[in-house]
Amino acid sequence: MRTLTIVLVLLAVFKSVDSAAAEASSYHHLHFRVPDTAAAAAWYAKYMSGEQIRIADFDAVRQSNGVLLMFSPLDRPGVDGAAFEGEVKGSSGTAVDHVGFSFSDLEAKMALFKKAGIKILQEPKQVADLFSYGFVEDPWGTKIEVMQDPDLVGLHHIHVLSGAPEEMLKWYQTQFGGELTSFKNIPALGAIIYSDVWLIVQKSANSLSGTAFRSIDHLGFGVSDMDATLAAYRRSKVKIAAEPRAVSTFKIAFVESPDGVLIEIVAPQAAE
């Protein structure tokens, strides 16, 4: 009986640690690979809104909700230090198909895009009285959904594709917290919202590539305790793509989703 009690206590402790790690997660950044990082940051700040800044050695754009768009050169080594020799392709065809931005006046924004010569992939469509959406492509091959959603203006969502969307949503919830729901109550758009940014997971019958060395290279989540978070991931058999290391005042590590999405974990350095 005593052994059973100890086991139950340990299981409760592990569960609380795992839950604490997930609940402490917040959406932190989206990381792109581009040939000219300063030009890309300027383009996103101008056309997709936000403040162009520098963080450590990175050109970046801070969104109104604090989430960052960060830019690395094409030839930056992989998260495990591996060199890459080849062509960095766009986001379409990967498990992170596109990123979404919402505007207060999509019609006016589309006119601006056309005037600037931005590639239009799809003209806007209206979905009932809920929102309108279209698609454009940035100069470096990233697919962008442009929307008019009155409930959320700015960086709106990360759109993940998966052959098993329900399982993938549950995986994100288990590892990073959040409440499972659906975007605008549309059953095909299962979702979790983090830091005023939606993570939408939609079913795809196509074979999908991972995100490493693609134009959207990885996602980023912030956590409060790197050691506790990684310990929880190891217990959950999450693939660790790169062990923790110090960068400026932070610790970073990388994990990989079952669909091959690279995810950076960012935590503050413990005070000495």
Which pairing describes strands 143-148 and 96-102: parallel, antiparallel, or unpaired? parallel
Rounded Cα distance, 112 and 117, in Å: 9
| Count of structural domains within the chain | 1
* Helix axes of 2-23 and 165-176: crossing angle, nearest 10 degrees: 100
pLDDT (tens, 9 = 90+) of the chain, 272 residues, equals 333 222 222 233 333 334 444 545 899 999 999 999 999 999 999 999 999 999 988 999 999 999 999 999 999 999 989 898 888 999 999 999 999 999 999 999 999 999 999 999 999 999 999 999 999 999 999 999 999 999 999 999 999 999 999 999 999 999 999 989 999 999 999 999 997 999 999 999 999 999 999 999 999 999 999 999 999 999 999 999 999 999 888 899 999 999 999 999 999 986 54
CATH code of 26's domain: 3.10.180.10
| Within a domain: 218 | yes
| Within a domain: 12 | no
| Within a domain: 106 | yes
| Within a domain: 128 | yes
Rounded Cα distance, 120 and 104, in Å: 19
| Within a domain: 1 | no
Contacts for 142 with CB less than 8 Å, ≥ 6 apart: 32, 90, 91, 98, 99, 215, 216
Instruction: Give the model confidence (pLDDT) of 165-213 as tens digits.
Output: 999 999 999 999 998 999 999 999 999 999 799 999 999 999 999 999 9
| Within a domain: 14 | no
Query: Domain span at residue 86?
Result: 21-268
SS3 content of the chain, % helix, strand, coil (to 5): 25, 40, 35
Instruction: Give CA angle at 202 (267, 112), nearest 5°.
Output: 80
Residue 141 CA: distances (Å) to CA of 20, 93, 97, 135, 215? 37, 11, 11, 12, 7
Length of the chain: 272
